[in-house]
C-alpha cells in the first residue's frame, strides 16, 4: 500500500501501456497519477503546484534523446524529484542512455503492467524507519525537569499503545515547561499503568518531537495489523485508526506541516475511508460510532465524520472522500499554529485573546496551507470558510458561495464540538437539529439526519 501524498506523473506516448495503466482502477485510486503524451504537456503539469508531483516516470519513446534531455530539464528545475526512465525496448536504446543509469533514479525495462511502476513508488516512499532503536534519553527519571514545551507532543493517555516494554521515552507534563520523565525506552510496561495515571487525573503522555514520528509509524503498523483481522469489530478498528489520526493531527498542530506528515495522513485517510465504506456496506450506523467514542482528538474525529457525511451525500470515489478527509484534518491548523492546545469546543469560555485567535483562524489556516502549496483549491477554500453557512440568521457567517466540501467539514465540525464532546441529551440534540443543522444545504441536513438515524418529517 502506498503512503505518499501527491501524484505520480507518467510521461509516455506508448498507447498500449498507458491504456493498460488507465484500466487499473483499483491501483489508480491508491496511486494517483497524471498522464502526459509529450514533454511539453508534462512541463505544464509540473509547474502547477496543486498537483504536488512527487515522482516522474519518463518514457524513452517521447523524444529523440530517449529521455536524456528531458531528464536534465527536469533536474534543472526540480533537483530532488525522482525521475525513472521507462524503456519499452531496452535492446533498441542507444548505449549512452543505458549507460546513464545513475542519472535516473532507475531504468525500468520493458514494463508490462502498472504494478512495475507502483512497486518503485512503494520502494521510494515506504518508510524504512523503525521504532525499535530509540535510545534512552539523557534526562533523569522521576525528577522534575525544565523542558521546552514545544519539543514534546502529547498523546492521549487512553490511546497510548501498550507493549510489553516501552519503545519510547515517556514524560508527563506538570506545568507550562515542567515535565517528569516516567519511562525510559526499554522499560517494562505494566498493564495497570494507564489506570494508575488515569486515577491521578493525568490525560496525556508526552513524547519528544523527534521520537514522536516513530510513535506515529508504530501506530500506523498497529492499525494496519488490526484492520486485517476478521475477529475484531468495527468499533475497535475505528478507535485504532482514529488513534493514528489523532497522533498525526497532534504532530501537525505542535510541529507544523511536512511532506512526511502528509504521507502519514494519506495512510490514515486510506484506512478511514476503507472503514467508512465497510461500515456502510454492513449497514452499521454512525449513531453507534458517536455513542462509542469519548472525547477524541478534534481534527482526526472531524476527518472521520466528514468522510462519513461525504459518503452519505453520494461522494463515492476514494479520491474525493480523501480530499474531504485531508481538508478536515487540517481545518483548524490556523488555531493550532497560534496555540497547539487550543480547544475549539470551549468557545463559550474563551477570553478576549482566545476570541481574537478564533476569529482569525480560518483566514490564518488558509494562509499557512497556501504557503505550503501542493493542495487542491477546494481544500484552501474549505479551510478558509469552514465556519460559514449557506443559511441562517447570522449575516456575517452566511454565504451562498461555499462549496460542498466546506459544508461537509462544517457539519462534521459541529457534530464533534456540539454533539459528541458535550455528550448531549435528546433535548439538546433536537435543538441542534432544529437550529445548527438547518443552516446547511438540504442534502447535508438529510445526510446527517440519516447518519444519526433520524427520519426527516415529510
**Integer Cα distance of 181 and 184 in angstroms:** 8
Residues that bind Fe ion (CB under 5 A): 332, 344, 413
Nearer to Fe ion, 111 or 154 (CB): 154
**Integer Cα distance of 215 and 185 in angstroms:** 12
Nearer to Fe ion, 159 or 413 (CB): 413
Nearer to Fe ion, 284 or 345 (CB): 345
Identify the three-state secondary structure at position 409. Answer: helix
209 close to 259: Cβ distance less than 8 angstroms = no
Instruction: Find the DSSP H helices in 10-83.
Output: 15-22, 25-30, 39-47, 68-77
Nearer to Fe ion, 12 or 332 (CB): 332
Angle (CA) 416-429-299 rounded to 5° is 5
Nearer to Fe ion, 70 or 332 (CB): 332
Least separation in angstroms between residue 128's CB and Fe ion is: 34
- Residue 447, Cα to own-chain centre: how many angstroms? 23
Least separation in angstroms between residue 321's CB and Fe ion is: 19
Nearest to 71 by CA among 120, 104, 36: 104
Least separation in angstroms between residue 414's CB and Fe ion is: 9
Least separation in angstroms between residue 362's CB and Fe ion is: 6
**Integer Cα distance of 71 and 76 in angstroms:** 9
User: What element of type H or E holds 275?
Assistant: helix 259-281
Least separation in angstroms between residue 423's CB and Fe ion is: 18
Cα Rg of the chain, angstroms: 24
298 close to 343: Cβ distance less than 8 angstroms = yes
Identify the three-state secondary structure at position 399. Answer: coil
Nearer to Fe ion, 166 or 417 (CB): 417
Least separation in angstroms between residue 336's CB and Fe ion is: 10
Least separation in angstroms between residue 424's CB and Fe ion is: 17
Nearer to Fe ion, 105 or 249 (CB): 249
Amino acid at each position: 500500500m502506498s503512503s505518499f501524498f501527491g501524484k505520480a506523473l507518467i510521461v509516455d506516448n506508448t498507447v498500449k501501456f498507458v491504456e493498460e495503466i488507465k484500466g487499473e482502477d483499483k491501483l489508480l485510486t491508491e496511486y494517483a497519477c497524471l498522464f502526459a503524451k509529450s514533454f511539453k504537456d508534462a512541463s505544464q503539469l509540473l509547474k502547477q503546484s496543486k498537483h504536488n508531483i512527487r515522482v516522474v516516470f519518463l518514457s524513452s519513446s517521447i523524444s529523440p534523446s530517449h529521455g536524456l534531455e528531458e531528464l536534465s530539464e527536469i533536474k534543472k528545475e526540480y533537483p530532488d524529484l525522482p525521475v525513472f526512465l521507462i524503456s519499452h525496448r531496452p535492446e533498441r536504446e542507444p548505449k549512452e542512455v543505458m549507460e546513464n543509469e545513475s542519472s535516473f533514479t532507475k531504468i525500468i525495462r520493458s514494463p508490462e503492467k502498472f504494478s512495475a511502476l507502483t512497486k518503485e513508488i512503494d520502494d521510494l516512499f515506504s518508510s524504512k524507519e523503525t521504532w525499535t532503536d530509540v535510545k534512552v534519553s539523557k534526562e533523569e527519571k522521576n525528577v522534575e525537569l525544565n523542558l521546552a514545551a514545544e519539543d514534546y507532543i502529547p498523546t492521549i493517555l487512553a490511546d497510548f499503545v501498550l507493549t510489553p516494554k516501552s519503545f519510547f521515552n515517556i514524560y508527563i507534563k506538570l506545568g507550562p515547561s515542567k515535565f517528569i520523565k516516567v519511562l525510559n525506552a526499554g522499560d517494562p510496561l505494566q498493564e495497570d499503568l494507564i489506570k494508575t495515571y488515569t486515577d491521578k487525573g493525568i490525560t496525556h503522555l508526552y513524547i519528544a518531537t523527534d521520537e514522536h514520528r516513530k510513535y506515529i509509524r508504530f501506530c500506523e503498523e498497529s492499525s494496519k495489523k488490526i484492520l486485517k483481522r476478521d475477529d475484531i469489530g468495527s468499533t475497535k478498528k475505528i478507535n485504532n485508526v482514529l488513534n493514528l489520526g489523532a497522533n498525526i493531527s497532534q504532530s501537525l498542530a505542535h510541529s507544523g506541516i511536512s511532506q512526511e506528515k502528509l504521507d502519514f495522513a494519506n495512510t490514515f485517510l486510506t484506512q478511514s475511508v476503507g472503514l467508512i465504506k465497510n461500515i456502510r456496506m454492513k449497514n452499521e450506523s454512525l449513531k453507534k460510532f458517536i455513542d462509542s467514542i469519548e472525547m477524541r482528538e478534534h481534527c482526526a474525529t472531524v476527518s472521520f465524520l466528514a468522510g462519513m457525511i461525504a459518503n452519505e451525500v453520494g461522494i463515492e470515489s476514494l479520491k474525493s472522500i480523501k480530499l474531504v478527509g485531508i481538508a478536515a484534518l487540517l481545518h483548524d491548523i490556523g488555531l493550532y499554529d497560534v496555540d497547539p492546545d487550543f480547544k475549539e469546543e470551549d468557545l463559550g469560555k474563551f477570553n478576549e485573546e482566545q476570541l481574537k485567535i478564533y476569529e482569525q483562524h480560518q483566514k490564518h489556516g488558509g494562509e499557512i496551507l497556501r504557503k505550503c502549496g501542493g493542495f487542491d483549491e477546494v481544500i484552501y477554500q474549505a479551510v478558509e470558510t469552514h465556519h460559514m453557512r449557506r443559511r441562517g440568521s447570522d449575516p456575517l457567517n452566511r454565504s451562498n458561495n461555499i462549496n460542498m466540501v466546506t459544508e461537509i467539514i462544517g457539519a462534521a465540525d459541529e457534530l464533534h464540538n456540539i454533539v459528541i464532546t458535550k455528550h448531549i441529551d435528546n433535548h439538546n440534540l433536537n435543538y441542534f437539529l432544529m437550529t445548527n443543522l438547518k443552516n446547511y444545504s438540504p442534502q447535508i441536513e438529510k445526510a446527517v439526519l440519516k447518519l444519526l438515524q433520524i427520519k426527516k418529517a415529510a
